[in-house]
Structure 1
Amino acid sequence: MESISPELALDLLYQEADRIKMLIKNQQNHLCITQCKAFEEIVDTQMYGLSRQVSFSIRLGIISDETGQQLLSDLERDLNQLYNDIYEEIKVIENGKEV
């Protein structure tokens, strides 16, 4: 069995984090993002899955605890920014202004 380098493991985890961000960015119906509990649960499930992958990688010693926690923290910050951008866009549209 081949060993996995820490660089490869970290790259795969970042790819998974990027996939979660794209899930939100590619959602065309902003109302679904803001009002659809099913979409929110999908994102939460994806985040939970990634957190388990990070935890597993830490336990295997492939990545450090600090690196894993930073990856999750960065993703949460980026997702919050995406949600804030969407809410701001919706507020502008609701006020009758162009985006």
Structure 2
Amino acid sequence: MSSQCLARPGSIAALLQRAAAADESAFMDFYDRTAARVFRVARCVTGDDTTACDVVCTVYAGVWRDCLAGVHEARQPEAWLLARAYREATRVTRARRTGQ
């Protein structure tokens, strides 16, 4: 979705909008407010703390890249983020099972 949607100041969506303007402190706030939930999703899917941490790193690196490219979900950012974490954790788990 476009970052043109107006977001409530201080909301997760507003932090993503600021991150899209290369505001690193906004991205750090976004991370601080959401990382525990992303880790829980990743841990639930992977069953392993170390792998879950790797998933968290991959997810946030991708989010940062997407923000700078102007690609992020402005209306439901938490759902977008958790779905992203779930997909990455599932991908990693499947790859591990198939030995890739």
* TM-score bracket for the superposition, by shorter chain length: 0.3 to 0.5
> TM-score, structure 2 length as denominator?
0.34
Greater radius of gyration (CA): 1
Q: Which structure exhibits the higher relative contact order, with contacts defined as CA atoms closer than 8 Å and separated by 6 or more residues?
A: 2
> TM-score, structure 1 length as denominator?
0.34
Of Structure 1 and Structure 2, the greater helix share is in 1
